Amino acid sequence: MYYTKYRPQKFSEISKPNDSAIALQNQIKSKKTVHAYMFVGPRGTGKTTTARILAKALNCANLSKDGDPCDKCDACIAIKNGSYLDLIESDAASNRGIDDIRQLREKIKLAPSKGKNKVYIIDEVHMLTTEAFNALLKTLEEPPSKVSFILCTTEFQKVPDTIKSRCQIFKFKRATISQLVEKLKNICEKEKVEMEDDVLKQIASASYGGFRDAETLLQQIIDGEIKIGLLTNLISLKSFVNFVDLIMQSKVKESFHFIGKLYEDGVDLYVWVGEFLKYLRNIMFVQTNSSIDELEFSDELIELIKNQAKKIGIGNLISVMEIFIEAQSCIKSSYITQLPLELAVMKIYNKGYFFKENDSDLNNNGNFEKQTSRKEEFIEKKEKVKLDENPKDNTPVLELSIIISKWNAVIKEVSSQNHGISALLKSSSVKNIEGKIINLEVPFDFYKERLESTKNRDIVEKVFLDIYEKEIFINCCVKRQEKKKNEEKTSGRLTDYNLIPSNIKNDKTTSELLGMLDGNLPFSQ
């Protein structure tokens, strides 16, 4: 495997820049090493490799002036071959119990057999049980001389604070695209294989910053296990650009064809959507004025991203990303793998996030009414109504009975878009309809303000258009009640004067209290 064949064997061979490697090398150089280290970072970022190089440096017989192991002495060669007795590697995922740590503690007492230091590398240390952590803690508190611990983990948050506080922590970052491409180029040169830079960049992009994943993917391509064409379909940035264009133009049929082609080519749609979301995230970075240099794309692709960022509003982008995040979570459990993606396209089309002329290929056969055009037409007519409609003509465009009969359907549809507005409508009542205006009675001024705000009004009137198939507008009036009626209603709930016992009505204390409070008994005569 390439990731073992081309594993770095010295600090100087680790891809630059690497702050952790530089700091460790300086410790070796100045002879100021500590007894316990913790290497933290995502998989494939060089934690175990660096741990082995550190073990070499701690035992190397011919250490360089820069603190780099020679990779030629007996200790370095034995560590490289995995036969060095004083380097003990353990996987906490399979050796996670307290008995395993107890055995380790017994062996620690023994002096190094050949080398200068005995080194213990515990990989995936977060997998240890609570009891095992407690046993390890005792060892870290009172470490024997000439013993070093290197704990590696991908889930730093699961390691107890008591363990963290006794280790010197080094964080390993994901490799950049340029670092991965440089490493892959070196491998291709040594393997005498020619590979285009664009392909190497695609491999690097699909590796999520992990050297091991990039090297494995490169070997699969060289060995013919994965075709470059399939890789292009999987992570081609241009394909993402094209798919975004299809979505923005509401080309539903072409979008379905695009998704179907991915499925036929055997592309993992779950991974593909993840990469597509990364592309949308890059558009978001551009919209928020993040540094374009961080994206590490070609100049051509950077320009394409900038152009799409100008066309997609930030609100629409957020909505589209949320829809595809939901679609990705459904892919693995869906009987029809491509269905969640197809539904995502239909949701975007149905919600009308993008409004263009001739925006949908569904309209060609008349099977679907183009929603975005309806909305544009609706907005245009709405403005004309205010200017052109004769105010004296109040003939209802619909019977009041029809309005009321479909009112629950209106509330249900509004609820699917905004629960708050639907709650307001439930507490309101249809008073009448005058021309194209529905007059609603609402209980409070606050309701009127909320329902007549531009955003909420548009939602409700858009639902009117869908349900009643006519341009109808909303007008709210607050239901006013006479003070007297309110008082009578409230008093009636409290009591009836005739039911008050006579001893209370005639009581002197009661009369004095009523006089102090300037009050009277309910319905008193």
Give whichever of 13-17, 142-146, 319-323 has the largest mean pLDDT.
Answer: 319-323
Flag whether 392 is in a domain: no
Cβ atoms of 471 and 382 within 8 Å: the answer is yes
Answer whether residue 255 shows pLDDT above 50: yes
Q: Is pTM, for the whole model, over 0.75?
A: no
The answer to whether residues 207 and 116 belong to one domain is no
The answer to whether residues 207 and 160 belong to one domain is no
Cβ atoms of 274 and 328 within 8 Å: the answer is yes
The pLDDT tens digits for 336-358 are 989 999 999 998 888 776 644 34
Measured CA to CA, the distance from residue 139 to residue 500 in angstroms comes to 82
The pLDDT tens digits for 92-151 are 878 778 888 888 888 888 888 888 899 999 999 999 888 889 888 888 888 888 899 999
Cβ atoms of 236 and 203 within 8 Å: the answer is no
The answer to whether residues 248 and 217 belong to one domain is no
The answer to whether residues 89 and 59 belong to one domain is yes
What CATH number did the domain enclosing 309 receive?
Answer: 1.20.272.10
| Percentage, residues of the chain above pLDDT 90 | 21
Question: What's the distance, Cα to Cα, between the start and end of the chain in Å?
Answer: 102
The answer to whether residues 213 and 246 belong to one domain is no
Flag whether 372 is in a domain: no
Number of H helices, E strands in the chain: 26, 8
- The DSSP element (H or E) to which 149 belongs, if any, is strand 147-153
Domain end (from 231, 248, 266): 231
Length of the chain counted residue by residue: 525
- The total of structural domains in the chain comes to 4
Residues in Cβ contact with 465 at an 8 Å cutoff, skipping those fewer than 6 apart: 374, 378, 471, 472
Two structure tokens written together for 163: 């363990």
The pLDDT tens digits for 284-299 are 888 877 655 445 555 6
Domain limits for position 416: 400-478
CA 71 vs CA 51, 57, 137, 510: distances in Å: 15, 9, 33, 103
Tell me what the pLDDT averaged over the chain comes to.
Answer: 79
Two structure tokens written together for 318: 């957020």
Two structure tokens written together for 54: 């550190």
Give the confidence band of 375 by pLDDT, cuts at 50, 70, 90: very low
CA 378 vs CA 365, 389, 457: distances in Å: 22, 15, 13
pLDDT score, position 50: 94
Residues in Cβ contact with 88 at an 8 Å cutoff, skipping those fewer than 6 apart: 104, 107, 118, 119, 120, 121
Q: Which residue has the higher pLDDT, 203 or 254?
A: 254
Flag whether 157 is in a domain: yes
Give whichever of 148-152, 274-278, 359-363, 503-507 has the largest mean pLDDT.
Answer: 148-152
Integer-rounded Cα Rg, in Å, for the chain is 36
The pLDDT tens digits for 423-481 are 888 888 888 888 888 888 888 887 888 888 888 888 888 888 888 888 888 888 887 65
Answer whether residue 373 shows pLDDT above 60: no
Flag whether 367 is in a domain: no
